[in-house]
A and B are shown apart, each in its own frame.
Chain A
Amino acid sequence: MSREEIRAAVLHALGEVAPEADLAALRPDVPFREQLDLDSMDVLNFIIGLDQALKVAIPESDYPRIATLSSCVAYLEAKVSAGSSFVR
């Protein structure tokens, strides 16, 4: 899966929890929670969306690593390319 495909999956999952958001204007290095007014339930639903789309295991301890668009895409890219041992 390419970086662009992962990015698209992240934006799709965000759109599910914040449908009114202008995702094209999302700043890549600012936390989602600050930009999109996400609460803890939204964050959980976002991660469920990533889980369903990418089949990648994201432990709770890694949540800080997916706080921004840039870090989230990089984290998921590493997970996907690391192979099946990391994939759910």
Chain B
Amino acid sequence: MSEFRMPSLGADMAAGTLLEWLKQPGDRVARGDLIAEVDTDKGVIQVEAFTTGTLERILVEPGQKVPVGTVMALIRDDAVTAPAAAPPGAGPPAAGPLPQRVSPLARRRAQELGVDLASIQGTGAEGAVTVADVERLARGAIMPTATPAVDDSAARMRGAIGAAMARSKREIPHYYLSNTIDLGPAMAWLAEQNQSRPVADRLVAAALLLKSVALALRDFPELNAWWVNDRAVRQPSINLGVAVSLRQGGLIVPALEAADQASVDELMRRLTDLVARAKGGALRASELASGTLTVTSLGDRGVDIVLGVIYPPQVALVGFGRIAERPWVVQGAVLPRPVVSVSLSADHRVTDGHRGALFLDRIDQLLREPGAL
């Protein structure tokens, strides 16, 4: 018998509220199946089963707030007939047997607006109904009054971000480095690729930047680590946390697992899916807890250099600024080139500036040969 517990999405999470069971006693569950929806300070997330078997018994009812680690259900193991579990990073689990996928926030929003979910054709990941779908249907009837539940979520998310960042600044001796990279080869490669691709298959520069960071981490495993019990523990998988700004305010950092092993195309597909689900409130617990280094970019907002705050227990963060044409000296001539600043915020307990500088240089080298990423 396996225990299904309230997950921890970080050291600053103490408790969560069960919103809904997506499986009922007697239902078969496979590892990776979405089994429950939980409301946390980081938003509403969907929690996967980490074992295969039959849901035996439910111990926590919807609406109950319980501490992290509380056993919420029991799953009778059924290893003999279990399908092989997908390794982390092999992509999202297959869609569950639910007749209609509805993101938790969308369900809540539909209740607030009195919208019948059955009348909506979802446009989110795997056809999921999103908040946007609900609001589109209700548009015209929505009053610009406050929505207490959403406002409360935003306040709690701001509190969670504040707690994590305060802890980071209090405990982690940050050092910061930045470098300016000539993205000429990368942008030319990208333009060439996108010229022949259908629009839905086009790439954005972020996919190349993420892949270059993931590959560089292979050579600098000390930066792909968690600080646990007063020591750095290198992580076996390179899971890039991607900072996603939410349109309603706040920030969430789901991870692209095993990002170094994905092709640029696969990374782009997974990034698109991850961002859509982050904005639609349909992330999975594992995606919020598995990041080993965070990448953040504010270049789309015109920022030149990002000097970020490390997300504990991680030990480093990479920031990208705006890709812009600048004067650049090439073989003695000043030419306009697309350049970007890349920064590293790193934990001085784990690495020194020398290694950090080499890491940034490695990212630069990788981006000079985009076709090899």
Residues of A within 8 A of B (CB): 15-16, 18-20, 33, 37-41, 44-45, 47-48, 51, 58-61
User: A18-B247, A19-B135 are contacts. A59–B204 as well, Cβ < 8 Å?
Assistant: no
Cβ contact within 8 Å between B200 and A59? no
Contacts of B272 in A (CB 8 A): 41, 44-45
Cβ contact within 8 Å between B202 and A20? no
Most buried by B among A15, A20, A41, A51: A41
Residue B119 lies at the interface, judged by CB distance under 8 Å to chain A: no
Residue of B nearest to A50 (CB): B199
Contacts of A47 in B (CB 8 A): 199
Residue B206 lies at the interface, judged by CB distance under 8 Å to chain A: yes
User: A15-B136, A41-B206 are contacts. A60–B123 as well, Cβ < 8 Å?
Assistant: no
Residue B248 lies at the interface, judged by CB distance under 8 Å to chain A: yes
Cβ contact within 8 Å between B194 and A16? no
Residue of A nearest to B200 (CB): A48
Cβ contact within 8 Å between B199 and A48? yes
Residues of B within 8 A of A (CB): 123, 131-132, 135-136, 191, 194-195, 198-200, 202, 204-206, 245, 247-248, 271-272, 275, 300-301
15 contacts between A and B (CB under 8 A): A15-B132, A15-B136, A16-B123, A18-B247, A19-B247, A20-B135, A38-B300, A39-B300, A41-B204, A44-B199, A44-B204, A45-B272, A47-B199, A58-B199, A61-B195
User: A20-B248, A48-B200 are contacts. A60–B195 as well, Cβ < 8 Å?
Assistant: yes
Name the one of B123, B194, B199 contacting A51, with C-beta atoms under 8 angstroms: B199
Minimum Cβ distance to chain B for residue A46 (Å): 10
User: A15-B136, A40-B205, A44-B202 are contacts. A59–B195 as well, Cβ < 8 Å?
Assistant: yes
Name the one of B135, B191, B200, B206 contacting A40, with C-beta atoms under 8 angstroms: B206
Name the one of A15, A18, A33, A40 contacting B204, with C-beta atoms under 8 angstroms: A40
Contacts of B205 in A (CB 8 A): 40
How would you classify the secondary structure of chain B's contact residues: helix, strand, loop or mixed?
Answer: helix
A41 to B269, CA, bound (A): 11
Minimum Cβ distance to chain B for residue A75 (Å): 15
User: A20-B248, A60-B191 are contacts. A41–B275 as well, Cβ < 8 Å?
Assistant: yes
Contacts of B275 in A (CB 8 A): 41
Cβ contact within 8 Å between B202 and A60? yes
User: A41-B272, A44-B202, A60-B194 are contacts. A19–B136 as well, Cβ < 8 Å?
Assistant: yes
Contacts of B194 in A (CB 8 A): 60
Residue of A nearest to B144 (CB): A22
A23 to B149, CA, bound (A): 25
A65 to B121, CA, bound (A): 32
A38 to B136, CA, bound (A): 19
Cβ contact within 8 Å between A16 and B300? no
A40 to B208, CA, bound (A): 13
Contacts of A48 in B (CB 8 A): 199-200
Contacts of B136 in A (CB 8 A): 15, 19
A40 to B298, CA, bound (A): 11
Name the one of A19, A37, A61 contacting B131, with C-beta atoms under 8 angstroms: A19
Residue of B nearest to A47 (CB): B199
Contacts of A38 in B (CB 8 A): 300
Minimum Cβ distance to chain B for residue A38 (Å): 8
A45 to B268, CA, bound (A): 13
Cβ contact within 8 Å between B300 and A19? no
Q: Using A44-B202, A48-B200 as known contacts, list a sample of 9 further A-B pairs with CB atoms less than 8 Å apart, ordered by residue number in A.
A: A15-B132, A16-B132, A18-B247, A19-B131, A19-B247, A20-B135, A40-B204, A41-B271, A59-B195
Contacts of A60 in B (CB 8 A): 191, 194-195, 202
A19 to B247, CA, bound (A): 9
A8 to B247, CA, bound (A): 23
Contacts of A44 in B (CB 8 A): 199, 202, 204, 272
Cβ contact within 8 Å between A51 and B200? yes
Minimum Cβ distance to chain A for residue B151 (Å): 14
Contacts of A59 in B (CB 8 A): 195
Contacts of A61 in B (CB 8 A): 191, 195
A48 to B123, CA, bound (A): 13
Contacts of B191 in A (CB 8 A): 60-61
